[in-house]
C-alpha cells in the first residue's frame, strides 16, 4: 500500500473527525426515526348480544353500564373499544344461547329486549364459503355443533348449507370452524348494517 507523502497528521485528523461526524449523523437518524405505530383497524364483524333492538335505537338506549358484559356466563360479550357498547366476536367467543339469557335480564334500559326463546334471537346469519370449506374432505364440525340445526350437510353436493330461517347468528359454527380448520369457511354477518360510532 502506497502512502501519499502529502497526507499528514492534519489530514488524518480531519478525515477521522469527518468519519465520526458521519457515523453520529447516521446513528442520530436511526434513533430519531419514528417506529411504525400503525394500529390494526378495528374489526367490524362484531355482533350485538341477543335481544338487541334496532341499531339506532340501541345506541340511544344503551348506557354502556357493562351489566350485560358482567352477567354473560361464558364472557362472550365485550366492550367495543371505541364506544364501550356491548359486542361479540363470533370467532373468539360465540353466544352460547343461555336458557335464561342473563345478559338480557341484566339490561335495565331496553337496549336488549326479552325474547320468546332461542328461535327468536336474531344476532346475524351464517354464510359459507364453499371454496374454503373442507366438508368435501369429511369435516362436518359446524353441522354437529349448531344448537339450532341450522346447518345441514348436502351429501349429494358434498357441501354444508345454512337453513336461513333457523340460523340465529350465535357464531358457534364460526368458532368451531376456526378451531378445526386452517381457514375459516363460515362467517356470521350481523343482521343489519352496523353504524360505527367511534
**Residue ranges covered by each domain of the chain:** 55-190
Cβ contact 126:187 at 8 Å: yes
29 compared with 161, residue with greater pLDDT: 161
Residue 21 pLDDT exceeds 90: no
Residue 20 pLDDT exceeds 70: no
C-alpha span between 160 and 15 (Å, rounded) = 74
Q: What is the pLDDT of residues 84-127, one digit of tens each?
A: 999 999 999 999 999 999 999 999 999 999 999 999 999 999 99
159, burial (CB in 10 Å: exposed 0-12, middle 13-18, buried 19+): middle
The CATH fold of domain 55-190: Alpha-Beta Plaits (3.30.70)
Percent of the chain residues topping a pLDDT of 90: 72
C-alpha span between 73 and 90 (Å, rounded) = 15
**Three-state secondary structure readout of the chain:** CCCCCCCCHHHHHHHHHHHHHHHHHHHHHHHHCCCCCCCCCCCCCCECCCCECCHHHHHHHCCCCCHHHHCCCCCCCEECCCCCCEEECCCCCCCCCCCCCHHHHHCCCCCECCCCCHHHCCCEEEEECCCCCCHHHCCCHHHHHCCCCCEEEECCCCEEEECCCCCCCCCHHHHHHHHHCCCCCEEEEECCCCCCCC
Percent of the chain residues topping a pLDDT of 70: 76
Cβ contact 177:160 at 8 Å: no
Over the chain, what is the mean pLDDT? 86
Amino acid at each position: 500500500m502506497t502512502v501519499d507523502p502529502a497526507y499528514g497528521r492534519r489530514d488524518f485528523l480531519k478525515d477521522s473527525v469527518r468519519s465520526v461526524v458521519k457515523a453520529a449523523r447516521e446513528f442520530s437518524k436511526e434513533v430519531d426515526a419514528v417506529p411504525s405505530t400503525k394500529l390494526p383497524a378495528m374489526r367490524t364483524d362484531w355482533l350485538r348480544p341477543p335481544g338487541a333492538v334496532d341499531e339506532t335505537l340501541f345506541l340511544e338506549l344503551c348506557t354502556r353500564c357493562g351489566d350485560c358484559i358482567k352477567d354473560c356466563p361464558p364472557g362472550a360479550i365485550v366492550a367495543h373499544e371505541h364506544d364501550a357498547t356491548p359486542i361479540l366476536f363470533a370467532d373468539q367467543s360465540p353466544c352460547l344461547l343461555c336458557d335464561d339469557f342473563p345478559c338480557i335480564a341484566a339490561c335495565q334500559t331496553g337496549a336488549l329486549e326479552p325474547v320468546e326463546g332461542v328461535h327468536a334471537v336474531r344476532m346475524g346469519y351464517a354464510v359459507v364459503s364453499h371454496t374454503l370449506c373442507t366438508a368435501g374432505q369429511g369435516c362436518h364440525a359446524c353441522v354437529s355443533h349448531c344448537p339450532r340445526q341450522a346447518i345441514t350437510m348436502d351429501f349429494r353436493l358434498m357441501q354444508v348449507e345454512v337453513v336461513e330461517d333457523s340460523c340465529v347468528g350465535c357464531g358457534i359454527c364460526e368458532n368451531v370452524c376456526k378451531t378445526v380448520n386452517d381457514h375459516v369457511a363460515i362467517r356470521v354477518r350481523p343482521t343489519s348494517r352496523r353504524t360505527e360510532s367511534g
